Structure 1
């Protein structure tokens, strides 16, 4: 059910991006003249940066691209790309949790320091 809602929302966004509002009878076509600049979609972050949780998956992805110089353009590396996307998404969640925990510790430390300065 959630997947169906996500697909429907993506389809609706697609119609709006093409100039249609999604209502029946409206013409769906190219973007209006004022909306000609489209936002580029990034494939993935630079892979030369350190990605500690995804090193092996990155190596597999790079190897696939090296082994399939033409096939990479027609889907030969799609499974490696999906694995890379999944790994990078999981890494982002892990790093976000670590940053939240670090920020929480910092807030607690600052609160203790404030209490000490107010009591003296």
Structure 2
């Protein structure tokens, strides 16, 4: 299961989200039969990369806060 597909929450994956949503609207039955599976895999990979970037930024921010204290 993927996270919420709102574009403002995932700016790095916006293009893939749009493609994935278009695939679901173009193939209402095909989405249940694996028509959009490749896009789903790309979306999962993009979310993973985005999370890694956010995790690194949060770690750097916490390091700066610890140094300040």
| Fold shared, TM-score > 0.5 on shorter chain | yes
Higher normalized contact order (CA 8 Å, seq sep 6+, divided by chain length): 2
Unaligned 5+ segments in structure 1 are 1-42, 111-120
Q: CA deviation at 1:102?
A: 0.4
1:84 aligns with 43
- What's the TM-score, normalizing by structure 2? 0.93
CA distance in 2, matches of 1:104, 1:83: 32
Quick one: which of 55, 61, 67 aligns to 1:102? 61
Greater fraction of residues in helix: 2
Structure 2 unaligned regions, length at least 5: none
Give structure 1 regions of 4+ aligned residues with deviation exceeding 3 angstroms.
none
Alignment partners' CA distance in 2, 1:53 and 1:101? 20
> Could you say which residue in structure 1 is the equivalent of 2:32?
73
Aligned length: 68
